Amino acid sequence: MAEMSDSNLDKTTIIQQAIASCCGAIITSLFVTPLDVIKTRLQAQSNPFPKGKCFVYSNGLMDHICVCENGDSKAWYKKTGHFKGTLDAFVKIIRIEGIKSLWSGLPPTLIMALPTTVIYFTCYDQLSEVLKSRLGKDDEHIPVLAGSLSRFGSVTVVSPLELIRTRMQYRKLSYKQLYTCVSSKVATDGWFSLWRGWSSTVLRDVPFSAMYWYNYERFKKMMCKEVGAHEPTFFIAFTSGAASGSIAAVITLPFDVVKTHRQTELWESETLKIPQRDCTSTWAVMRKIVAKNGITGLFAGIIPRLFKVAPACAIMISTYEYGKSFFSHLNEKMNQRP
């Protein structure tokens, strides 16, 4: 297995970094999507989703809001099954429905996740290099600043697309109808209405990224020192990604719970025609959850989140780093040719 150098960034172009991040996003979604499909099917089996209600389906790269349809629905999450556990569900879904069922909902994820991932990882690397030239190569603030700024930028740029994707999930709209829908919304509420839900996403994702990159860089250096390696290997990147992703996921879980709560409440109010409550701010929703379920309510679903985030972070960062290493060695070979 080839080793990955911290200097790989100096030897790769922005286009190559973008390709590496795209490959990482595709590989991550291919590995993690089946886990969440199985989890959702097991949940639906033990506690059937009532008509009009909705649930959050996430496959490691992004969240999807799924509105439950009627009992005759042929939606993937409503298909009957008597599963004894994860392994049993995995085997039966492949045998009865075909292996493609394990990747339900993958296309819309890739359409949205690829631009988000490219912006996020490429900006992180570029910002890191700029900050290193100004603050010094070993400054510990660099991962925090670069991670926060790159995530803030990617969330802000993609937020309107997220709103459009949500509308298309809610109702089957033609492009003309979608344009009319978005235009009327902008005319009524202004351009800033396209960034609805941006604040709760930023509160969850920016702190996550700051902690993730800070811990990732520290773990990577510690493991290299421990094993006596001058450069991080694929295994070191994978392990560091999993550990740092887990820590960030636990600490930022309350904001993830709030975001999920706001998303599902909005969808159910539209689907079931229930008047939306005035409790819309992030802090107001937090107070409401604590009053109803106690402080533990803010950490609901911690185990499923860890099972999803840890492998997703590990696969994404290790494939991304390995992709940069591949292009770095390719560029060296090209430059050595007469």
* Alpha carbon distance 198, 73 (integer Å): 32
Percent composition of the chain: helix, strand, coil (DSSP 3-state, to 5): 75, 5, 20
| pLDDT > 70 fraction of the chain, expressed in percent and rounded | 70
* Alpha carbon distance 131, 137 (integer Å): 8
Q: Which two tokens stand for residue 75?
A: 């939606």
Residue 258 pLDDT: 76
Per-residue model confidence as pLDDT tens digits over 201-252: 788 789 999 999 999 999 999 998 888 877 778 899 999 999 999 999 888 8
CB proximity list for 59: less than 8 A, separation 6 or greater:
29, 32, 33, 35, 36, 37, 105, 106, 109, 308
The phi and psi torsions of 146 (rounded to 5 degrees) equal: -65, -40
* Alpha carbon distance 318, 4 (integer Å): 10
42, 58, 106, 271 from 35: Cα distances, Å: 11, 10, 12, 28
* Alpha carbon distance 79, 326 (integer Å): 42
Residue 194 pLDDT: 72
Locate the DSSP E strands across the chain: 54-58, 63-67
* DSSP label at residue 262: H
Per-residue model confidence as pLDDT tens digits over 36-87: 777 767 766 655 556 656 555 555 555 655 656 554 455 555 555 677 777 8
Residue 1 pLDDT: 42
Residue 247 pLDDT: 93
Residue 3 pLDDT: 47
Which of these, 122, 124, 104, 128, lies nearest to 35 by C-alpha position? Answer: 104
Question: With 70 as the cut, is the pLDDT of residue 127 above it?
Answer: yes
Residue 237 pLDDT: 93
Per-residue model confidence as pLDDT tens digits over 253-307: 887 777 766 656 655 555 545 555 544 666 777 777 778 777 777 777 777 778 8
Taking all residues of the chain, what is their mean pLDDT, rounded to a whole number? 76
